[in-house]
Structure 1
């Protein structure tokens, strides 16, 4: 196996403790055995072609464990490591997570213009809204799942967002204004987004309830507030499980959405039940965007297998929809920075810009 040398750079004032490396290649273990840095260096033999997300952790003198964070004490995105032969990986730790949770982290992206709350079967549902200045009437409508990751970075999981307002503002500047509605989700994500019972939703899917609410409550509310928008100007989009519920809701309710943005769809739950469910389903008036990054797997080989799966899904859909488009993000992992980079192209394609 290739020899990988990790070289560590720490921020000033790092407290004393035992520094070690963990990641999805170790199932995020807190055991430092065999993974401890010595004078800022760690040597490891790792499989060739491995794609791994890694973080530095610290065992404190009192036995507690701390994890690296950003410079403001918030959660940081994991380091992305691709093993292609013997290599040296430079790991720079910006800071350490603390009780503040990154409360002082400055935003890089614009927040929504407005936030409201609607009643839903699962309780109060936050609705985050953005539209360009000077466009107060009905506009083409994009509904995005995982709304906590869509606009500014403050509510995101690891400090990265889609910068949807920035992408939509550029679209508006090119003459194609749109309204974005983003729906944050909590720990109930697997239940709300996965339409089949499996381990992570406790074998109790709430996807139909969620899709019913979007169609029967959210859309009527937005139409009453801003003016009716026809189906051909209404888009639904999301990533990972959000891509799964996008495809499911669009195919379940043909005629509701004119465009579906299926980013990095996670179709594996319940032994790929979605691929069997979608057989023969479609919407002759809908356009479907499917994409995948070429680093979305735990190895180069598995990432290529996922790309093939998403491409075949697109080919299966093509005869049953108005248009199906598949794209691959080069060097893209399964994360917000990748979806942020692909969002502008999707917006332009949606609006024919």
Structure 2
């Protein structure tokens, strides 16, 4: 028995040793002597100040961390001094892309150098001049009484807000640092202000939309974006955060801006942990939120609790909610399966299939550029603005149908009752007509295989009447 015990001990020791060590061999001269360095990546939900991922300073001046044995596969990460405002940057103090490393089967030490820190490398070279003039900081210290904290809150208003006198839908977004401004964003911004302004200018967004973006709390981000605790990473304050949105922030916005406050004109959206809390908010408060955009959701953070919560909270009769899911196929091993499982749970809970859009992009990554690219299609599907310049409202035309949406190769177009033919035009987001043809009642299939992926506007003309439909090409 002793040889077997010895062999087991050796195997166990080999397993423990077969881990990866990250070592920073040099840091900028500006690094404070007492600074604690951290690694944040796709293995710890990009927490910039997780104590479990703090590096230890060595006598020779280097910094090291041996990653847990559970951290395997393709890693993306950056080094910080505890917050995204103090993330590493390049020699010119510009943002750098995610570092990448694939964990192998044996123990190894990987060396890195940090060239600069974002907050210590001199004046930032980016400029906020790219912000649309209709973006304002509502407050740098908006009170969050449910959490006993304050937070910066941004507001975007549509192009015609000052002159129209109209009321507008509202979309609430998390991680406000990343929504409008490249200077405050981590690894880029979503460009929501530019996107919505352009859609309005091109006639692809007839109603316009107010966007309210709430900054994340840095070290409190994981706590606030999950109502359930993860033993390793935290969480558990998500309920208070959602109540802040519902009880404090939304009433303030509705009182001070010309909003359409009803549920069908109120949406919520976010990425990663922001996707988790957006789903939770929409399910918990169906009378408040009628649209939810869920980008690359971190459902792994509270998988069992979320599953039970969805089972306990089926759809509410008379309160349909639209859910838009999107992620990359290779973001992680669990991303797509868990996103599909949540979609299926919503369907079992009574949500209509027509109210669920489920998108998996082959090239998608857990990154701002991906969410920026996917935002226009998500926004247009969620809010489905009224058809611009229609001679007759489309709801007055029985029989009209354009499906599926999103579409792959063939778009089915069913002409309104009484129309024997129509002129069909399809335009891209620049207003350029990319497909034009005649259409007869018996010809219901339109080949869109050659269209690039993105959002399109379909127009049908018959005599003096024009109707439009928006769709997304996968």
TM-score interval, smaller chain: 0.7 to 0.9
Matched residues in 2 for 1:348 and 1:216: separation?
A: 27
Please report how far the alpha carbon of residue 288 of structure 1 lies from its aligned counterpart in structure 2 after TM superposition: 0.5
Partner of 1:191: 223
Matched residues in 2 for 1:101 and 1:222: separation?
A: 37
Contact 1:288 1:321 in 2 (8 A): no
Contact 1:150 1:162 in 2 (8 A): yes
| Counterpart among 170, 181, 191 of residue 152 in structure 1 | 181
| Counterpart among 320, 332, 339 of residue 364 in structure 2 | 332
**CA distance change for structure 1 residues 335 and 25 in 2, over 3 Å: closer, same or farther?**
closer
Query: How many aligned positions are there?
Result: 295
Instruction: Show structure 2 runs of 5+ residues with no match.
Output: 1-27, 30-38, 44-52, 59-71, 81-85, 104-112, 385-469
Pairing of 1:217-232 with structure 2 (within 5 A)? 217-229=248-260, 230-232=262-264
Matched residues in 1 for 2:195 and 2:202: separation?
A: 11
Matched residues in 1 for 2:326 and 2:55: separation?
A: 31
SS at match of 2:243: helix
Pairing of 1:131-142 with structure 2 (within 5 A)? 131-136=157-162, 137-142=166-171
Q: Output one character per residue of 1:124-152: Cα deviation in whole Å (capped at 9) or x when no partner.
A: 23210112322244211110011111111
Contact 1:75 1:102 in 2 (8 A): no
Q: Output one character per residue of 1:15-61: Cα deviation in whole Å (capped at 9) or x when no partner.
A: 9xxxxxx99699897899xxxxxxxxxxxxxxxx953326699xxxx
Contact 1:233 1:258 in 2 (8 A): yes
Q: Output one character per residue of 1:191-240: Cα deviation in whole Å (capped at 9) or x when no partner.
A: 1110102236646x211111111111111111111234121011100111
Partner of 2:288: 256
Q: Output one character per residue of 1:106-137: Cα deviation in whole Å (capped at 9) or x when no partner.
A: 35852662112232123223210112322244
Query: Which stretches of structure 1, 4 residues or more, deviate above 3 A after TM superposition?
Result: 22-32, 54-57, 79-83, 93-98, 106-109, 199-203
Contact 1:267 1:275 in 2 (8 A): no
TM-score, normalised via structure 1 length: 0.72
Partner of 1:76: 96
CA root-mean-square deviation: 3.4
Contact 1:72 1:105 in 2 (8 A): no
Matched residues in 2 for 1:138 and 1:266: separation?
A: 34
Matched residues in 2 for 1:25 and 1:290: separation?
A: 19
Matched residues in 2 for 1:331 and 1:108: separation?
A: 30
Partner of 2:13: none
Structure possessing the higher relative contact order (Cα contacts under 8 Å, 6 or more residues apart): 1
Larger deviation: 280-289 or 137-146?
280-289
Please report how far the alpha carbon of residue 252 of structure 1 lies from its aligned counterpart in structure 2 after TM superposition: 0.7
Contact 1:74 1:102 in 2 (8 A): no
Please report how far the alpha carbon of residue 105 of structure 1 lies from its aligned counterpart in structure 2 after TM superposition: 2.0
Matched residues in 2 for 1:156 and 1:193: separation?
A: 18
Matched residues in 2 for 1:271 and 1:326: separation?
A: 19
Contact 1:294 1:330 in 2 (8 A): yes
| Counterpart among 128, 131, 151 of residue 125 in structure 1 | 151
1:315 correspondence with 2:339: no
| Counterpart among 219, 242, 252 of residue 211 in structure 1 | 242
TM-score, normalised via structure 2 length: 0.55
SS at match of 1:278: helix
Please report how far the alpha carbon of residue 270 of structure 1 lies from its aligned counterpart in structure 2 after TM superposition: 4.2
Matched residues in 2 for 1:108 and 1:333: separation?
A: 27
Contact 1:239 1:339 in 2 (8 A): yes
Contact 1:70 1:95 in 2 (8 A): yes
Partner of 2:191: 163
SS at match of 1:153: coil
Contact 2:296 2:335 in 1 (8 A): no
Instruction: Show structure 1 runs of 5+ residues with no match.
Output: 1-13, 16-21, 33-48, 58-65, 84-92
**CA distance change for structure 1 residues 67 and 344 in 2, over 3 Å: closer, same or farther?**
closer
1:105 correspondence with 2:126: yes
Partner of 1:43: none
Please report how far the alpha carbon of residue 71 of structure 1 lies from its aligned counterpart in structure 2 after TM superposition: 5.8
